[in-house]
Amino acid sequence: MKFNKIAGLGIASIVLFGSFGQLAVNAQPAQALKAKQTTIVAAKSESVISSGNFVKSEKATTGKAKIVNMNGKRYLKFDKAFSTGNGPDVKVILHKSSTVPGNIQEGNYITLAKIQKFKGAQAYEIPDNVNLDEFKSVGIWCEEFNATFGYASLQKA
């Protein structure tokens, strides 16, 4: 019985002092720890070129669209309040008119991309060769049925 208590104390001492030794070996000055935790974040310069609020055409469409210049590239961005109806073959377009008609005609618009999602913030890169002065609105358009879900007239910043 005595032997078990002594053996137990010996093991506890080894564990206790072993842990203390481990802490002593891993201890580092506070400045060294601080230096390891420093994170450098590159600043993104974003300037708004134009913006507008979505309005309904054939389906409820809400939120804000803005065209921005960010680090030398242009993007069309929708805010987190963006929402539109679901449909097949839905595209994001730039249109030459400040209002996008229900049925659009070839030559009056360009397609930026297929819509990423029907709700929430998203961004689309605008190709360098697109002259933004030619386009007055952003449209959410179903190509299959030539139906405009909604649009945002763009006002220069």
The answer to whether residues 79 and 63 touch, using CB atoms and an 8 Å cutoff, is: yes
Range of the domain at 13: 2-36
Q: Give the C-alpha distances (Å, rounded to integers) separating 132 from 109, 123, 138, 154.
A: 11, 16, 11, 10
- State whether 14 and 72 are in the same domain: no
Same domain? For 17 and 69 the reply is no
Confirm whether 11 is domain-assigned: yes
Residue 140 lies inside a defined structural domain of this protein = yes
- According to the model, what pLDDT value does residue 65 have? 98
Q: Let me know whether 75 and 31 are in one domain.
A: no
Q: What is the pLDDT of residue 23?
A: 44
Q: Which residues of the chain have pLDDT under 50?
A: 3, 6-25, 27, 32-33
Answer whether residue 41 is part of any domain.
Answer: no
Same domain, 52 and 86: yes
pLDDT of residue 4: 52
What is the predicted pLDDT for the residue at 39? 54
Q: pTM for the complete prediction?
A: 0.72
Say if residue 149 is in the same domain as residue 114: yes
pLDDT tens column, 67-109: 999 999 999 999 999 999 999 999 999 999 999 998 899 999 9
CB 96 within 8 A of CB 136: yes
DSSP state of 57: S
Question: What's the number of domains the chain is made of?
Answer: 2
Tell whether 32 and 81 lie within a shared domain.
Answer: no
Q: How far is CA 90 from CA 2, 46, 112, 114, in A?
A: 82, 28, 11, 6
Tell whether 28 and 58 lie within a shared domain. Answer: no
Report the candidate in 151, 139, 149 with the shortest Cα–Cα distance to residue 58.
149
Find where tokens 């297929």 sit.
Answer: 114
Same domain as 130, residue 99 = yes
Identify the DSSP state of 7. H
- Are 70 and 88 members of one domain? yes
